[in-house]
Amino acid sequence: MFGIIGQSLLLATAQAAAPAAAAPASAPATLQQQFDAASDAAQDGKCSDAITAFEALEHNPAAMKSPVVRGAIGVRKGNCLVKLHRTDEGEAAIRSGLPAMVAAGEAFVGDVVNAHMGLGTAARDRFDYARAGDEFRLALAAGGPQGRFRPLLALSQVSIFDPGPEPLAYIDEASRIADATPSISKDFHAQLLTLKARILLNRGEKAEGYALLKDALKLQGGLSLKVSLSDVATRSDLAIAAMLLNKRDDARNYLVYTGAGRMDQAPFSRAENMDVPLCGSTSGLTPADYAVVEFSIADDGSAFGVQPIYSTGGREIALAFARAASRWSWAPAKVQEIKPFLRYAMRVEMRCTVAGARPQINEPLTSRFMQWAAPLLAGRIQGGTDGAVAARASALLDQSRKEGTDQLTVALLGMLGLNPVTDTASANTYLQEGLGLALSRNMPVEISNWLRFAIAAQRNSDKPAATRAALRELLPVVTATGDALAIDTVRLQIASPGYRLSAPVDAPTLREAVIADPALPRDHPLKINALLQSASWAAQNRDFSQAQQIFQQTGLSTEQCAFIGAAPAIRRTGVSSTDYPMEAARMGFEGWTRVEFDVDSAGRTRQQRALISYPPFVFSDAASAMAKDFVYESSYRPGGDTACAGAAQNIAFRMN
């Protein structure tokens, strides 16, 4: 799936295949009839059935004698695999069959076109728009005068951020073909106008794009309570155009008619993973860049159909944000709270982070467990979304329990306990089972200690004081095992401050024990973290000379500190109902923003900026302004009050 417009336009151009001749009820289907039935299923979009039927033919030596049949099966099955997001398998199948289709001549031109369209779709779904464009152009060349419409639309979609005359030429030719086709509806023409307007907006031709979108809206019947997916696309693009033209009230009015900003119906801010890309030379992103990205949420909690809609910096900037959004995931139970229509083609405004994701205190301990588990899981758990990995691990777990493969069972239980889409109660159940099995089978203490730590951290994940108490109970248990990494991880976690939770009175003793532990190397992340916390402690007591001496022991530069140091703990927010933007309140908008900022040595915030906002453009400024009143725990900053560690905070805007 590739967005509202892309999918609906391409579906509208699909041609129905001629039905296969029915076999007598008493006679088994011939190979030709089996092939035709599989092809019909693929043509009708019944891809799971088609793949099963094609694979049955692949196992029949008689069916596979002909190179042409083998090629056709490869291309048609491959296209279905791509549609089901089994991209690698689909590409391999298409490439295996394409040469035979080319050699077969005019009779199989349609398969050649479909092969290049499938390869282009696979590249597009990987956000390789350059390669996708190459494949779609090959499809355009292969199809001849009568087969240009689908490739032209696909080329329009992957070139919306490109300069030069080609993107507009593609959509204009597609529009001329549509104008000459009496059966095409007004709504279909509106979608073509919306796609052209999107190209214009990304070229900076804001007024021209806005005018086209208004024409598209008229074709769809104007602003009414009738809402289809294509209506939502046009109205959402109109909101972007109006905002770019500083028509802020118009922008909010268009957003109202998309259904955006209703948090009781679409609580998708509660993602388990919603990272944004890092600013810098590697990503090519700067803090000034932003994009509007569209995505949908699948039943398993994964993001799909991700596409950039608007960007300030061209194709690569837009795709960097889209790649980040494609890795987002939600707990499946939370997904069920979202109405199906509202979790299709949602949009957010995104910016890059200057702080990045910092190592967690438990990261070395968790990495050690995963290194142990990796050989056991090799070949069993493939990459993919969090939801797909969890589903595969759950299926393997049932089998592993039955077979009594204890180490694999513990590895799978640990993976499920860690997986972001696993709810807290289930995660605790998995981890408890894993610990019981690890202890009963005398597995290495490194394994049982990670499970113990994970249980203590998970059990009260939303209650920092209770988590600290659980870790204090755990400390003598892991100390008795002599496992230095686990001991120091628990010590440092206890010593660390949290939200409305100051460092404990014995924090200096705990930190010093970590720093002095001869079992860990001098540059171990836990020791660096402990030294940074100790430097902040000295600075809070106005002993800046001691703070500087401690910081020098880390061996870090100020820049390295900014990416390694633990984020300071928040003390108060200063947020009140008066911070709700009046324009949003007047129009009934709800939403949320993740705002990022630096924290100076006194705990004040600086350089506040929105990272993700829903709906786009509504709450970004208000959230950034609110963050100015946040107060964090003071901490040592080498080189004066330069922020050693930035922070980020989610702000929800809900109406009573």
CATH of the domain at 416: 1.25.40
Which pLDDT score, from 0 to 100, does residue 455 have? Answer: 92
CATH of the domain at 635: 3.30.2420.10
Segments forming the whole domain that contains residue 506: 363-520
The answer on 608 and 508 residing in a single domain is no
CA distance 105 to 112: 9
**What is the count of structural domains for the chain?**
3
CATH of the domain at 58: 1.25.40.10
The answer on 593 and 507 residing in a single domain is no
Any idea of the CA torsion for 608, 620, 196, 145, to the nearest 10 degrees?
70
The answer on 115 and 27 residing in a single domain is yes
Mean pLDDT (10-residue bins), the chain, 656 residues: 40 39 60 91 93 92 90 95 90 95 92 96 93 96 88 96 95 94 91 96 95 95 84 92 90 83 57 79 82 90 90 91 89 78 85 71 90 89 73 90 93 90 86 95 94 84 81 95 95 83 89 93 86 79 77 67 55 68 76 82 78 87 84 63 61 77
Name the DSSP class of 221.
T
Kindly provide the b/e burial profile for residues 471-482, where b requires at least 16 CB atoms within 10 angstroms of the residue's own CB. beebbeebeeee
Contact status, residue 260 vs residue 347, Cβ threshold 8 Å: yes
Closest CA to 237 of 222, 225, 255: 255
Residue 624 in any domain: the answer is: yes
The answer on 622 and 516 residing in a single domain is no
Pairing of strands 605-614, 346-350: antiparallel
Residue 65 in any domain: the answer is: yes
Contact status, residue 524 vs residue 515, Cβ threshold 8 Å: no
Q: Can you give 536-549 as a three-state secondary structure string?
A: HHHHHCCCHHHHHH
Closest CA to 241 of 229, 228, 253: 253
Which pLDDT score, from 0 to 100, does residue 535 have? Answer: 80
Residue 302 in any domain: the answer is: no
The answer on 492 and 417 residing in a single domain is yes
The answer on 582 and 503 residing in a single domain is no
313 Cβ contact list (under 8 Å, min separation 6): 285, 286, 289
The answer on 506 and 585 residing in a single domain is no
Which pLDDT score, from 0 to 100, does residue 596 have? Answer: 85
What type of residue is 97?
G
Residue 14 in any domain: the answer is: yes
Task: State how far Cα 578 lies from the chain centre.
Answer: 33
The answer on 166 and 30 residing in a single domain is yes
Q: Can you give 625-641 as a three-state secondary structure string?
A: HHHCCCEECCCCCCCCC
Which pLDDT score, from 0 to 100, does residue 635 have? Answer: 60
Q: Where does a domain end: 153, 184, 215?
A: 184
Identify the burial level of 579 via C-beta atoms within 10 angstroms of its C-beta, where 0-12 means exposed, 13-18 middle and 19 or more buried.
Answer: middle
Give the CA distances from residue 596 to residues 328, 374, 501, 614, 628, in Å, rounded to whole numbers and listed in that order: 19, 34, 21, 15, 11
Which pLDDT score, from 0 to 100, does residue 599 have? Answer: 74
Give the CA distances from residue 290 to residues 247, 283, 307, in Å, rounded to whole numbers and listed in that order: 19, 13, 14
Residue 323 in any domain: the answer is: no
Which pLDDT score, from 0 to 100, does residue 541 have? Answer: 75
Residue 315 in any domain: the answer is: no
Residue 133 in any domain: the answer is: yes
What is the SS3 assignment for 327?
coil
Which pLDDT score, from 0 to 100, does residue 499 have? Answer: 62
What type of residue is 167?
P
Question: For 457-500, how does the pLDDT look when each residue is reduced to its tens digit (9 = 90+)?
Answer: 876 656 788 889 999 999 999 999 999 999 999 999 999 887 66
The answer on 131 and 15 residing in a single domain is yes
CA distance 71 to 66: 9
Q: Where does a domain end: 502, 520, 538?
A: 520
Q: Where does a domain end: 462, 489, 520?
A: 520
Token pair 């993919």: residue: 384
CA distance 3 to 418: 31
Q: How many CB atoms lie within 10 A of CB 308?
A: 25
CA distance 249 to 233: 19
What type of residue is 80?
C
Which pLDDT score, from 0 to 100, does residue 461 have? Answer: 59
The answer on 455 and 373 residing in a single domain is yes
What the block records as the tokens of 53 is: 């039927």
The answer on 138 and 13 residing in a single domain is yes
Give the CA distances from residue 106 to residues 22, 102, 113, 318, 374, in Å, rounded to whole numbers and listed in that order: 27, 9, 11, 39, 50
Q: What is the C-alpha end-to-end distance of the chain, expressed in Å?
A: 37
Closest CA to 390 of 417, 408, 370: 417
Would the pTM of this model clear 0.85, i.e. be above it?
no
Residue 640 in any domain: the answer is: yes
The answer on 164 and 66 residing in a single domain is yes
